[in-house]
Structure 1
Amino acid sequence: MIPFNYDDRLFVSVDHAGDDAPLRGHYHQRGDLVWAEITGGPVRHGSLAGTCDSEGVVRFAYLEVLTDGTIVVGECVSRPERLPDGRIRLREQWRRHGPRPDSGVSVIEEATAALVGSIEEQQRV
């Protein structure tokens, strides 16, 4: 049994949570397969796909088209932790490949119900 279920959860970047259009990912899961659609912030469209281990750690590859037209590809290992209110936080150790290689750590958190409502409202406008 996998201790973390990512299916149909919306995650937002902690670093960009105050932005009008925060970086966000809509996650899906079937067994150990995890995938997501990514939008917001500097990302016009993105996707990720990977697998989840028995500890809930997700290893995936990602592809993003940024708002300036740049295409970014890379890989990431996301380690989960449970927040006091039950939501999931992921610490992501990422590495970008290609002409502008880089690496770092990002933090995303499962969106609160209020933030999900706000994002859905923005999408209707």
Structure 2
Amino acid sequence: MSNSVNGEVSDSTIFHYHQENEIIWAEYCGGDIHKGFLIGKMINQTLEFTYQHLNQSLEIMTGKCKTHIELNEEDKIELHEKWEWTCKDFSKGKSILIEV
């Protein structure tokens, strides 16, 4: 897992993804994230979604993300994300999430 310095997701954050046809959603928590949710859609090998979570300081954080899906050398799913906060400083970042 890797993340930009302005992100709140870490190696301790666990995502539980779900899919129904092109609709995707997930719950996530751990590390700096107290409780989070995302919802969006899949187009080919790309996910587009919005997310919101409460961090450990109980701040409401929101954002949007475009994610490209890849398989790594170990046949694990990797999510290569480009995201942007839609709150606070509206900064952007990149993350890579790896299937456990």
Common topology (TM > 0.5): yes
- Structure 1 residue 101: Cα displacement: 1.9
Higher CA-based Rg: 1
Residues 1:68 and 2:47 are matched in the alignment: no
Question: Unpaired runs of 5+ in structure 1?
Answer: 1-13, 112-125
Q: In the alignment, residue 94 of structure 2 is paired with which amino acid?
A: V
Q: CA RMSD in A?
A: 1.0
Task: Tell me how far 1:24 sits from its aligned partner.
Answer: 1.5
Structure 2 gap ranges (5+): 3-9
Aligned partner of 1:101 in structure 2 is 90
**Residue 82 (1) aligns with residue 71 (2):** yes
> Scaled by the length of structure 2, what TM-score is found?
0.88
Residues 1:27 and 2:13 aligned together: no
Percent of residue pairs identical = 27
**What is the CA–CA distance in structure 2 between the aligned matches of 1:109 and 1:37, rounded to whole Å?**
16
Q: Higher strand share goes to which structure?
A: 2
Alignment coverage as a number of residue pairs: 93
Q: What's the offset of the Cα at 1:100?
A: 3.0
Deviation at 1:99, TM superposition (A): 2.6
Q: TM-score, normalised by structure 1?
A: 0.71
95-104 vs 62-71, greater mean Cα deviation: 95-104
